[in-house]
Amino acid sequence: MLPAQRRDELLRVLGTEGRVVAKDVAERLGLSEDTVRRDLRELAAAGLCQRVYGGALPVSPAVADYAARRSVAVESKDRVARRAAALVRPGSTAVLDGGTTALAVARALAPDLRATVVTHSPTVAAALAEHPTVEVLVLGGRLFKHSVVTSGAMLAEAAAGVWADVFLLGVTGVHAEAGLTTGDAEEAATKRTLAARAGDTYVLASAEKIGVASPFRVLPLADVTGIVTDVPADHPAARALQEAGAPLLAAD
């Protein structure tokens, strides 16, 4: 089998099975594990998979920068946003993450909602400035331009003074084995900091984020209250998440 054929087969397995186990694929194709691992390294270097111990997982398309993500899975994000917006109860305090799905949540909040929203996203804060009855608290820090959110020590210090009812968490990957992941280490740490300031954490998981992984873990599945997604319950990745104990909240 030629190298290009091997890599095409690995991508096919990723697409149909949701993961590649190097040992299993090597036996199936009559190859050495070293050959399969070398092919996976090359695919990962090209941004076509996410390597993990023993093999690889599908890579998340949501690791693109903020401008590029605005045109990705717009309808899916809107469905998730409408369901997640209902989790912000009247009189409550909610932490709203950054990103395009979080921005859709801000726009989906009921126009008569009276609540407090804490955010480290300038774009989310600007959108909520138009809401007549939502009080907005903005957490400062160094601007991470890729995702247009603040981060770093100043953010952590500001977040320490917050205790919220709910955190609506944005990630780039939701996978039964890898957990909740994102593409930047510092951003992952920021998300953990914010999750620690809320009673409940719900994940904003539009379709392109389900069953894929990014390099840096944010939280294990067991640490969140629920995953808001529009992926059908009988989707293989959704079934795997349910089998792993992750509660899914259907977004219609």
CATH at residue 221: 3.40.50.1360
Residues 147 and 54 in one domain: no
| Average pLDDT of adjacent 10-residue blocks, the chain of 252 residues | 80 82 86 87 82 82 58 79 97 96 96 97 96 96 90 93 96 92 93 96 93 92 96 90 93 84
How far from the centroid of its chain's Cα atoms is residue 195's Cα?
13
Structure tokens at 28: 């199936």
**Domain with 25 in it:** 3-59
Residues 51 and 112 in one domain: no
Residues 213 and 102 in one domain: yes
Residues 132 and 228 in one domain: yes
Residues 43 and 71 in one domain: no
So what's the pLDDT on residue 72?
59
Residues 141 and 236 in one domain: yes
Under 8 Å between Cβ of 206 and 77: yes
Under 8 Å between Cβ of 164 and 197: yes
User: Which CATH number belongs to the domain containing residue 34 in this structure?
Assistant: 1.10.10.10
Residues 181 and 99 in one domain: yes
Residues 55 and 142 in one domain: no
Residues 92 and 161 in one domain: yes
Q: Which of 154, 146, 147, 251 is nearest to 138 (CA)?
A: 154
So what's the pLDDT on residue 87?
97
Q: Which of 36, 59, 82 is the last residue of a domain?
A: 59
Residues 106 and 138 in one domain: yes
Count up the domains in the chain and report the number.
2
Considering the entire predicted model, what is its pTM? 0.81
φ/ψ of 77, rounded to 5, equals: -65, -40
Beginning with the edge strand found earlier in the chain, give each strand of the sheet holding 179-182 in spatial order: 173-175, 179-182, 216-219
Residues 86 and 139 in one domain: yes
Residues 55 and 111 in one domain: no
* CA–CA separation, 130 and 113 (whole Å): 13
So what's the pLDDT on residue 2?
73
